[in-house]
């Protein structure tokens, strides 16, 4: 099987770069649609539309709310069917980005991603995560190409709550953990091909950057300061993690994350990366990693105020029914648990969650 590495055509990052972004967008087309949510529209969306319009672009808008579901994708497609659009601009967080990629792919339009947080590695990938209307994970949807352009304005990112940066750090740290598991299995990346050495190298560089600069960047974010550490972490969360997960592969941490979509409660209010922090720890337990490795991640996640116990997720570790639901959803055909270098059963997953809780309670660090 051949190896495959893919990436967006162009990635731009810097403080205030949205104010100089029309020159990149107009290379792709003149008629654009800004897709965003109500909060981002009020914060920067309207001003950004005016900026593009003043620059000579023809700009339409669509304000989205809800899940990234097939129903919502089709509804949005109907709403823009009679508009002559050349470029879709997704301005916002992970759900808006995933929806924008779906719409652009189905209409064969150019795709621009303008993330407003560094909480996810979705901006660079050719994938959307689809959910059922009730919020349960449904499937990954794959597109023939990555976004044409990703623009990351760190002046915008730094004004988002530091909690979102912490979630992105957790998501970024899962990248190397999962990519190493895929490599050990001689498995496939998200694209169904063999991972390249480049993908693993990027994933491990992402890990190095986050452990080195993550805490400083977290504090800089709280103080609304764009520093070298903050720039480095934003790049790791967005570009390095995005390239690393897609071309390097996913394993247990993301499958377990999807497993949590099978239950209701506090966990549904947590961000993707916050849940990934916990499920990364579970993967390390399932791999029987040395105690010092587990402690390294545990201490770091605690310093970032990320959840490390079932209780923090609103889950009773003794609730057999809910743990079984999580495990069963994690084992869904087509999800990434199959990329682990050993076979896991429902019982293994339940036991791994309980082992992690016991370890965290007994850990004095």
Question: What tokens were used for 333?
Answer: 């055909």
Sign of CA dihedral 293, 299, 302, 304: negative
- Alpha carbon distance 197, 185 (integer Å): 14
* Mean pLDDT for the stretch of residues 142-162: 97
| Cβ atoms of 209 and 240 closer than 8 Å | yes
Q: What is the mean pLDDT of the chain?
A: 94
Residue-wise pLDDT tens digits, 167-226: 999 999 999 999 999 999 999 999 999 999 999 999 999 999 999 999 999 999 999 999
State the pLDDT at residue 76: 85
- pLDDT recorded at residue 333: 78
Structure tokens at 160: 């988002």
**In the chain, alpha helices (H):** 22-25, 38-40, 46-54, 70-80, 94-107, 154-157, 162-185, 197-222, 228-235, 241-248, 252-259, 272-286, 291-303, 320-330, 346-362
d(CA 6, CA 319): 42
Pick the closest to residue 253 from 192, 180, 145, 316 (CA basis). 180
Burial tier of 223 (Cβ tally within 10 Å: 0-12, 13-18, 19+): exposed
The angle subtended at Cα 82 by Cα 79 and Cα 88, nearest 5°, is 65
Q: Residue 27 corresponds to which tokens in the numbers above? A: 């290379």
114, 111, 118, 107: which is closest to 36 by C-alpha? 114
9: confidence class by pLDDT, cuts 50, 70, 90: very high
Evaluate if residue 56 carries a pLDDT over 70.
yes
Q: Between these two residues, 39 and 131, which has the higher pLDDT value?
A: 39
CB 149 within 8 A of CB 12: yes
Domains of the chain: 11-157 (3.40.50.1970), 162-362 (1.20.1090.10)
Q: Mean pLDDT, to the nearest integer, of 245-257?
A: 97
Residues identified as active-site: 171, 254, 257, 272
pLDDT digits (tens, 9 = 90+) for 303-359: 999 999 999 999 999 999 999 999 999 998 778 999 999 999 999 999 999 999 999
Is a pLDDT exceeding 90 seen at residue 135?
Answer: no
**pLDDT tens figures, 70-109:** 888 898 888 787 788 999 999 999 899 999 999 999 999 9
Which residues, including other chains, have CB under 8 Å from residue 33's CB and lie 6 or more apart? 59, 60, 61, 62, 80, 83, 85, 87, 88, 89
- Specify the pLDDT at position 138: 83
The rounded percent of the chain whose pLDDT value lies above 90 is 86
User: Considering only CA atoms, which of 4, 45, 317 is closest in space to residue 156?
Assistant: 45
Model confidence band, residue 67 (pLDDT cutoffs 50, 70, 90): confident
For residue 365, count CB atoms less than 10 angstroms from its CB and return exposed for 0-12, middle for 13-18, buried for 19 or more. exposed
Comparing 69 with 148, which gets the higher pLDDT? 148
Report helix, strand or coil for 155: helix
- Using DSSP's 3-state secondary structure scheme, residue 148 falls into coil
Torsion from C-alpha of 355, 360, 361, 365, nearest 10 degrees: 150
pLDDT at 365 over 70: no
> Residue 335: what pLDDT?
85
Res. 68: pLDDT tops 80: yes
On whether the CB atoms of residues 119 and 164 are closer than 8 A, the answer is: yes
| pLDDT in the model for residue 152 | 98
């Amino acid at each position: 099987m051949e190896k495959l590495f893919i990436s967006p055509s162009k990635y731009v990052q810097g403080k205030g770069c949205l104010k100089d972004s029309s020159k990149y967008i107009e290379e792709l087309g003149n008629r654009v649609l800004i897709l965003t949510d109500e909060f981002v529209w009020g914060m920067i969306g309207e001003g950004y539309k005016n900026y593009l319009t003043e620059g000579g672009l023809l700009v339409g808008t669509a304000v989205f709310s809800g899940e990234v579901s097939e129903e919502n994708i089709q509804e949005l497609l109907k709403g823009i069917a009679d508009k002559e659009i050349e470029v879709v601009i997704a301005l916002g967080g992970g759900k808006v980005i995933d929806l924008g990629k779906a719409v652009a792919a189905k209409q064969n339009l150019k795709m621009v991603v303008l993330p407003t947080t560094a909480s996810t590695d979705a901006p660079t990938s050719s994938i959307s995560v689809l959910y059922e209307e009730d919020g349960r994970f449904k499937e990954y949807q794959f597109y023939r190409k990555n976004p044409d352009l990703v623009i990351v304005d760190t002046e915008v990112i730094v004004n988002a709550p530091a909690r979102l940066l912490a979630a992105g750090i957790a998501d970024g740290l899962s990248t190397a953990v999962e990519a190493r598991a895929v490599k050990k299995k001689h498995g496939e990346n998200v694209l169904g091909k063999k991972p390249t050495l480049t993908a693993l190298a990027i994933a491990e560089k992402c890990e190095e950057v986050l452990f080195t600069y993550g805490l400083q960047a977290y504090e800089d974010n709280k103080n609304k300061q764009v520093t070298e550490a903050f720039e480095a972490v934003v790049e790791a969360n967005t570009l390095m993690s995005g390239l690393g997960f897609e071309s390097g592969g996913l394993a247990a941490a993301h499958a377990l994350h999807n497993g949590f979509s099978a239950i209701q409660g506090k966990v549904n209010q947590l961000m993707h990366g916050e849940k990934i922090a916990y499920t990364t720890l579970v993967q390390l337990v399932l791999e029987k990693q040395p105690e010092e490795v587990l402690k390294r991640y545990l201490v770091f996640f605690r310093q970032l105020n990320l959840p490390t116990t079932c209780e923090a997720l609103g889950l009773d570790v003794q609730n057999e029914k809910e743990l079984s639901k999580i495990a069963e959803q994690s084992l869904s055909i087509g999800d990434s648990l199959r990329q682990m270098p050993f076979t896991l059963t429902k019982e293994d997953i339940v036991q791994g969650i309980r082992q992690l809780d016991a370890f965290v309670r007994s850990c004095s660090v």
